[in-house]
Amino acid sequence: MIIYNRILLFRTVFCLICLFLYQPDQVSGKESLPEGIKWLTNTTDPTFASEQAKKGGIFHSSILSFPMTFRVVGPDSNGSFRSAFDDNQLSLINIHPNTENIIPELATHWAFGDDKKTMYFKLNENAKWSDGKPVTADDFTFTLEFMRSKEIVAPWYNDYYTKEIDKVIVYDDHTLAVVATKAQPDLHLRVGLTPIPRHFYGKPDKDFIKKYNWKIVPNTGPYQVSDFQKGKYIHFERKKDWWAKDLRYFKNRFNVDKVVFTVVRDINILWEYFKKGKEDVFSLTMPNYWYEKSKTPVIENGYVHKIWFFNDTQQSAMGMWLNQDREIFRDQNARYAFAHAMNIDKVIKNVLRNDYFRLEHGFVGYGKYSNTSIKARRFDLEKVGQYMRSSGWNRGGDGIWNKDEKRFSVEVTYSNDEHTPRLVVLKEEAKKAGIELRLQRLDPSAAFKKFLEKKHDVAWMGWSTSLRPQFWEHFHSINAHKPQTNNITNTDDPEMDRLNDAFRNSLEEKERIELSKKIQSKIHEIGCFVPTFMVPYVRQAYWRWWRLPEIPGTKMTGDLFSPFGSTTGGLFWYDKDLHAETEKAMKANQKLKPVTILNELYKIKS
Amino acid sequence: MKLNPLTQKKIRRFQSIKRGYYSLVVFIIMIGISLFAELLINNRALIVYYDGEYYFPTYGQMIPGKVFGLDYEYETNYRDLQKRFRAKNSENWLVMPIIPYGKLETDLKEDRYPPFPPSFQEEHYFGTDNVGRDIVARLVYGFRIAIFFSLILLLANYSIGISIGIVMGYWGGKFDLFFQRIIEIWSNVPFLYVIIIISSIVVPNFMMLVLIMAFFGWINMTWTMRTVTYKEKEREYILAAKSLGASNVRILFKHLLPNTVAVIVTYAPFSVSGGIVALTSLDYLGFGLPPPTPSWGELIQQGWANMNAWWISISVIVSMLITLIVVTFIGEAVREAFDPKLHTTYE
């Protein structure tokens, strides 16, 4: 004990000395805050959590495969589970999910510089990392150093944080400015940085990738990893004295004490688990689950409730991404023909019960930024014939197009077993059009790796979305023909590059909207993406002791029971009494009223 | 062909074991049916008579709809064509197979969603799977793939296993010791996992799957063959052959192999059923042949995923049961026929 105290004392002294040595350097030579800054904040937008929410309970959720790493940068880090880590890292500011106005997060106040490329922030002085260290302006400086470092092996981030963000200016521990490289209309979306803890990483060295594969990084959000076993589970625990718990837009949210993610590799087993009550929520977005499989005692007896909630948000670019480095798809006519050979409408009608909607292009739901004049290419055998013949293809004896001993036969790689019926129908229909699809189902991680390494013919996947459309990463030639970038179509088109650069460099919102629409037309013209479905709603089943606010979600809600996520997550809570009541009813075989909630408040009017 | 009297005796004995004998007959019929499945279960007509000409679409290239006066270039839908002929009361006619659905064809309906229950009216006698494909078609074509998979696998496994085993036993000494160690190491590789890992990276085709399975499957046979050879090579007839100056190859394959055939033959039927089970379980797990290949494993998977559609699981489980029982009965009878002690009976 004495030794321990001595060490502690020594450390304190050491820290004081360091601080003493460090401090003058910090202050001298630093710029001072410019005059006449108009500080802004937002304490007036409506809150969207429920006053009735109570803290407590354990929330059981699942993941289909264990993440390949806990890092959120570097190789193999771009899997789906990274959102659980990202969601627990707050940024300077955020967007209100219903009004899209700026709301405070780590910063309490912000201000815009006259140059349209600088934003000033005042940090919340209570903001703390999960290891107890305060969040300081220096952590944002470190974000730049870290993201620009070659050692993290993340070319996209290297590039983004060099080309988009110029610098972070520290005025004092709690005041800073973030400067973008150029003036731009949506500055707040660009410069609302997320801090990275310098005290945790130090300077990234060449061992970074290996060293931080399974390290738990301190965070600023409501939950932190408390326990995990690779391949099996990850537990998150709520921080009991989280610094932000009483802030206006965080109050009454993030109510569950503990979130348990178990690896369940099979969706059928997951469904069985859910019916046994080992899982708390199950997604019923798939039509066969919503209509057929939910005719099950736990739902009919009212122990499990169903909800269908329409949202109004950016739609994932779900569809077929054609690899233009493959010989067949180098020809634009072949790409057009391929698109016309996909009978998506039949799949929607006969397999998906008209529950899904046709996605017209990759950027639907981005408001003014969406080009609503684009219509996806429809199933049309005549057009397929025209395009193929004009490129010199002929129908072979098996009915498949043929040119120089080469058949129009392509591999479609996908990862979700539930999508097999859709693809089987597409395959049969494509055969009529003279195109053979070879279906290949891989484990999600393996499939994604294959796409990123550009080894696919056709990738069947959707991308996650952001507030404004992202074109550069998917369509700029800088990201083509090399592994580990998101340009999985290997789009390499000078005009597209020009538009992309112009979009990135543009200052004017109007011009950006114009460019955005032009780029979308260009994507349609290139024809490297065949849009398939959109699902502008979320359908879920949940055990009735989980409670949702009166308006269960927000315009941006993609999952009503997302435990984290500073924008829309953590609205639900656990009701102990209802749990007891339900268990009693189940034991006594007593039926409760079945409940199906339909909420169309935010449904897009067509 | 003149058979060795001993062999004749064994065949007679096999025939006298009725259960095994009839199982073999059933099994041969099953394979026969599956070989000519295109004539029984198919969405292509057997014969089409159109404008004075006969067409036989079953085998060979597809015939586009244009040929029969339809307005499309893709494969003719013969069921529709038949209806058309009948409606027009024309002199054209066609004959469809007993089950007029293909193995990959999705028969989707308006306002109803698959899987569809069994229906005699629609000629889906066992119903359809979750994309509207006929289950009988899937079963029969799936059987053909499974049975040939396991026969080819058997051939591959046995040729490698027997050759290595017989040589180990015959030469003995250092060669034997060396191969024993290799096999010990080899057999410790968890082969199912290896297959799963390989198939999650590359989806294997038929021959590749056979190769991967054979890569690990030959081991079992070596041990047995080695032991049998050790016993046989001490017999006088080998000594006699040696003293007459027979070469090693001649002794191995002309003298030793025929005398160990009893062992090989008794093992074979069980290896066949093993092969079927292996392919089915790999398909069930999603690591076998890629969709939409007809496969029993995939049907079991569908049955499990759609418990309400009882016709899927029942038909595939019953087919699996019949096949495995038949093969096992054959195996038992063969074993008994080759048994030197004639008193063993199976009840």
* The one-letter amino acid at A99: T
For residue B159, being part of any structural domain is answered with: yes
pLDDT tens, residue by residue, A233-270: 999 999 999 999 999 999 999 999 999 999 998 888 99
For residue B32, being part of any structural domain is answered with: yes
For residue B346, being part of any structural domain is answered with: no
Claim to verify: residue B32 and residue B63 sit in the same structural domain: no
Chain A interface test: which of B70, B106, B134, B193 (most A C-beta within 10 Å): B106
Q: Say whether residue A439 is in contact with chain B using an 8 A CB cutoff.
A: yes
For residue B267, being part of any structural domain is answered with: yes
- Helix, strand, coil abundance in chain A, percent, nearest 5: 30, 20, 50
Does pLDDT of A163 surpass 70? Answer: yes
Distance of CA B281 to the CA centre of its chain: 14
Asked if B54 contacts B47 with a C-beta cutoff of 8 angstroms, the reply is: yes
Mean pLDDT of chain A: 89
pLDDT at B191: 79
pLDDT tens, residue by residue, A267-292: 889 999 999 999 999 999 888 789 88
Backbone conformation region of residue A36, classed left if phi is above 0, alpha if psi is from -120 to 50, else beta = left
- Residues in A closer than 8 angstroms to B291, CB to CB, are 420, 423-424, 439, 441
Q: How many CB atoms neighbour CB B345 within 10 A? A: 7
- Residues in A closer than 8 angstroms to B292, CB to CB, are 424, 427, 439
Interface touch B290/A438, C-beta < 8 Å:
yes
A166: enclosing H helix or E strand: strand A165-172
Q: Which of B62, B75, B291 sits opposite A439 (nearest CB)?
A: B291
- Residues in B closer than 8 angstroms to A289, CB to CB, are none
Q: Say whether residue A383 is in contact with chain B using an 8 A CB cutoff.
A: no
Chain A interface test: which of B200, B282, B283 (most A C-beta within 10 Å): B200
pLDDT tens, residue by residue, B16-64: 999 999 999 999 999 999 999 999 999 999 999 998 899 999 998 889 9
- Residues in A closer than 8 angstroms to B104, CB to CB, are 424, 427-428
Claim to verify: residue B47 and residue B27 sit in the same structural domain: no
Q: How many residues does chain B have?
A: 347
Claim to verify: residue B205 and residue B244 sit in the same structural domain: yes
**Before B292, cis peptide (omega within 30)?**
yes
pLDDT tens, residue by residue, A302-354: 999 999 999 888 899 999 999 999 999 999 999 999 999 999 999 999 888 88
- Residues in B closer than 8 angstroms to A417, CB to CB, are 286
Claim to verify: residue B168 and residue B52 sit in the same structural domain: no
Interface touch A428/B109, C-beta < 8 Å:
no
Q: How far is CA A370 from CA A36, A142, A355, A468, A516, in A?
A: 37, 35, 23, 10, 7
pLDDT at A2: 39
Claim to verify: residue B230 and residue B287 sit in the same structural domain: yes
User: What backbone phi and psi angles, to 5 degrees, belong to A120?
Assistant: -105, 145
Q: Which three-class secondary structure state does DSSP give residue B238?
A: helix
- Residues in B closer than 8 angstroms to A353, CB to CB, are 113
CB pairs < 8 Å spanning A and B? 81
For residue B125, being part of any structural domain is answered with: no
- Residues in A closer than 8 angstroms to B60, CB to CB, are 397
Sheet holding A175-180, edge to edge: A107-112, A118-123, A175-180, A165-172
Q: Which of B131, B200, B308 sits opposite A424 (nearest CB)?
A: B131
Confidence label for A1 from pLDDT (cuts 50, 70 and 90): very low
DSSP secondary structure, B58-121, as one string: SSSS--BGGGGT-S-SSB--HHHHHHHHHHHT-S-EEE--SB---SS-----SS--SSPPPBTT
CATH superfamily of A31-50+72-211: Dipeptide-binding Protein; Domain 1 (3.90.76.10)
Q: What is the pTM of this model?
A: 0.73
Sign of the torsion formed by the C-alpha atoms of A299, A301, A304 and A307 = positive
Confidence label for A603 from pLDDT (cuts 50, 70 and 90): confident
pLDDT at A423: 94
CATH of the domain at B329: 1.10.3720.10
Q: How far is CA A312 from CA A50, A283, A348, A367, B115, in A?
A: 21, 18, 21, 10, 33
Does pLDDT of A47 surpass 80? Answer: yes
For residues B55 and B48, give the distance between their C-alpha atoms in angstroms, rounded to a whole number: 5
pLDDT at B344: 55
Q: How many CB atoms neighbour CB A230 within 10 A? A: 12
A82: enclosing H helix or E strand: helix A82-86
% of chain B surpassing 70 pLDDT: 98
Q: How many CB atoms neighbour CB A45 within 10 A? A: 16
pLDDT at A7: 41
For residues B312 and B116, give the distance between their C-alpha atoms in angstroms, rounded to a whole number: 10
pLDDT at B347: 54
Interface of A with B in 299-358 (CB under 8 A): 346, 350-351, 353
Q: How many CB atoms neighbour CB A450 within 10 A? A: 19
Q: B167-176 contacts: CB < 8 A, separation 24 or more? A: B167/B252, B168/B222, B168/B225, B168/B226, B168/B229, B169/B225, B169/B226, B169/B227, B169/B228, B169/B229, B169/B230, B169/B232, B169/B233, B170/B229, B170/B233, B170/B248, B170/B251, B170/B252, B170/B256, B172/B230, B176/B226
- Residues linked to residue A58 through DSSP beta bridges, in sequence order: A258
pLDDT at B345: 57
Backbone conformation region of residue B226, classed left if phi is above 0, alpha if psi is from -120 to 50, else beta = alpha
Higher pLDDT: B305 or B224? It is B224
* Residue range(s) defining the domain that contains residue B55: 43-96
Provide the residue ranges of all domains of chain A, joining segments of one domain with +.
31-50+72-211, 282-313+537-606, 319-462+523-534
Helix A155-163 with A138-148: angle, nearest 10 deg: 130
Residue whose tokens read 């550009």: A454
State the distance between the two ends of chain A, measured CA to CA, in whole angstroms: 71
Asked if B238 contacts B244 with a C-beta cutoff of 8 angstroms, the reply is: no
Q: Which two tokens stand for residue A429?
A: 């229909």
- Residues in A closer than 8 angstroms to B205, CB to CB, are none
* The one-letter amino acid at B165: G
Claim to verify: residue B167 and residue B220 sit in the same structural domain: yes
Claim to verify: residue B157 and residue B284 sit in the same structural domain: yes
- Residues linked to residue B71 through DSSP beta bridges, in sequence order: none
Query: How many domains, in total, are found in chain B?
Result: 2
Q: Say whether residue A395 is in contact with chain B using an 8 A CB cutoff.
A: yes
Q: Which of A268, A398, A441 sits opposite B62 (nearest CB)?
A: A398
For residue B316, being part of any structural domain is answered with: yes
For residue B112, being part of any structural domain is answered with: no
Q: Apex CA A407: angle with CA A401 and CA A412, to 5°?
A: 100
State the distance between the two ends of chain B, measured CA to CA, in whole angstroms: 34
pLDDT at A239: 95
pLDDT at A30: 62
Q: How many CB atoms neighbour CB A342 within 10 A? A: 25
Q: How far is CA A592 from CA A246, A275, A296, A478, A578, in A?
A: 36, 16, 14, 59, 12
For residues A568 and A566, give the distance between their C-alpha atoms in angstroms, rounded to a whole number: 6
Q: Which three-class secondary structure state does DSSP give residue B224?
A: helix
A395: enclosing H helix or E strand: strand A394-395
- Residues in B closer than 8 angstroms to A345, CB to CB, are none
Claim to verify: residue B80 and residue B227 sit in the same structural domain: no
**Residues of chain B in Cβ contact (below 8 Å) with chain A:** 60-62, 64, 72-75, 104-106, 108-110, 113-114, 130-131, 133, 200-201, 203, 286, 290-292, 304-306, 308
Distance from CA of A347 to the nearest CA of B (A): 10
Could you tell me which CATH number the domain at A319-462+523-534 has? 3.10.105.10
Claim to verify: residue B153 and residue B295 sit in the same structural domain: yes
pLDDT tens, residue by residue, A361-386: 999 888 889 998 999 999 999 999 99
For residue A336, give every residue at least 6 positions away whose Cβ sits within 8 Å of its Cβ, in sequence order, or none. A377, A383, A387, A527
